[in-house]
Structure 1
């Protein structure tokens, strides 16, 4: 057995370098000379500002790879979406389907666009989608919706915090009126209060229509936040617009029982023969896999239990102009598989954090709108359907990947498709 000292010596370390202390200090110390690379002062998109940026970049890379003629023609369309614009990145987009959905809002066969650079991903979702369609489709139900922002207020004592809360509970109608002066689509739906010692967190929950709604909710809550600071009978010693209780762009356990964005559940029942034909395994193996990996998720401290919601949601969000960073929270949820009395496989998913919209954000940009158009889900009145599509897409991916593990095809599929 190796000695502990030899184990430590086998690891690479800064102490293995021959640099003396002065050299190391010089490397790691702050440097205050003027940067050799600088941006234009204006963050906006104009022909002049784009040209100035490329004056600095043209020696570093091929300009037309980022700023091709079509991108340049459409440049002003991006003004509400980005600052210091230099071009666009092209990602391959594939389609998975047809995916049959029998939902409250999505009720059709869908071809789902997915933007990714990961081989085997679209193929996997395509396989799961076709399996679901062969079974008559997945049932889907949007259960709840709401987007939150959570201001926090600090007081000297618990007594002061209590007086503040006693005033807050009388102000709902005022808060609602103030918030809704900032938006024609957002509606303040509920306010929850969380007291932690002399700190008070207010959870403002909004319905945001067909927009994903983060910016809408931030602006509306900011208006109420300043109303509180001006009118509250107890002045807080500290206050901030968000106290990190909303779960914005972070996985969190709270929404498993509540909602942030749109909460959807979807299910499908697959006959034993369909499982054997499409996945080359059987319902019993898939249910056993689900049981054992649920234990694995608990051992790892996971929030919820799923195989790879993030794959579906990242590819869908990027293709369709959603906020890709919201995958951090949207990919929380629960997958469950069991064998029913007939020996068939029952599978369901529940995703409580689907941050999706069909208006605003990046949804109106040319490529992203085209992807939404493929599904017939661009524009007003379509966001709830998009949420149900996202959940059923995740269900398709769960079936496919669990089937691949059970049939011992997971590595083989990646080797075949990623190493052609």
Structure 2
């Protein structure tokens, strides 16, 4: 009987789930470990961030997974329309999506369609990985993971994939690289049933993406499930611990709103309609969910992060190349990684034992990691450039000028713009 490798995927986000599904379709049966509890259907129906999937990456994975019809049925909450304003509320650019070929899907919807196609016993929920190390008493490169199950228990695998995000445990096995603070923070809030409860805000924000930028700050939004508007205030600050420095620790979203809109260095001088959009979302968020505000420092791995090949382990997604959201590349690169890695693992011929399997796998993983590192370096550079550009003094005008350039390219028969 041919050797069947033991494969673990640490992380049950989009990249881990996609890899699990792609491998199962190719006759490999990984175990997926996820720190979070399994979300209920009710939780997955709630508004979440939206993701625009790109043709060469995210959309290709949907097709290869056989999920194209389910994917198309799960889009539509957020259109590809885009509006750009300055802090005074002047409209600098608007389009109906003709400059984009990147359909939007909510993160929860993407999780749902991936998860429903993987047997439930293949995913181990609420599993905290406390350590990843070389397995003892082996010469085959096997990897041992330690689980926090009240008393520590271990499991050994022939190959472990770190899909465990920004603060990856698996990454420590391969490299000392750590995420660094990029100088920006997000404050996020969501209002639901916008068209009926707040029609003026639904009209303001439009059916897709909305970006008001300037003075090193931004108020951004997109539409989502339950006729929602998800609003983010983006703030440039050198303080990684801005929550503490600004006195926002433990504050509700409504309380944070008062602080941000009352600060002349932040949003006190912004147009009333922009303040209203942010304020209403913050009040609704507090009413619906309570608790501390969702304030997120934005981190990135150093551009060009690489590691030496190591038998028995690799990284994908944010664990390999964490970057900020400013180019919309994170989930697409993660899904692309999953597809390429599935191809590499499935291409290994039948082997008699673990050592033979590892030897046949090595050149394929080396090629996978080199290809991944090359393409992600380019996308990380684009992302860093965009963050600096969008959170500049005249960010709205800079973005509007970019769209004008795309319009001219399209009119001349060139490739469509991207965002």
Query: TM tier, shorter chain?
Result: under 0.3
With normalisation by structure 2, the TM-score equals: 0.25
With normalisation by structure 1, the TM-score equals: 0.24
Mark the structure with the bigger radius of gyration: 1
Larger RCO: Structure 1 or Structure 2 (Cα < 8 Å, ≥ 6 residues apart)? 2
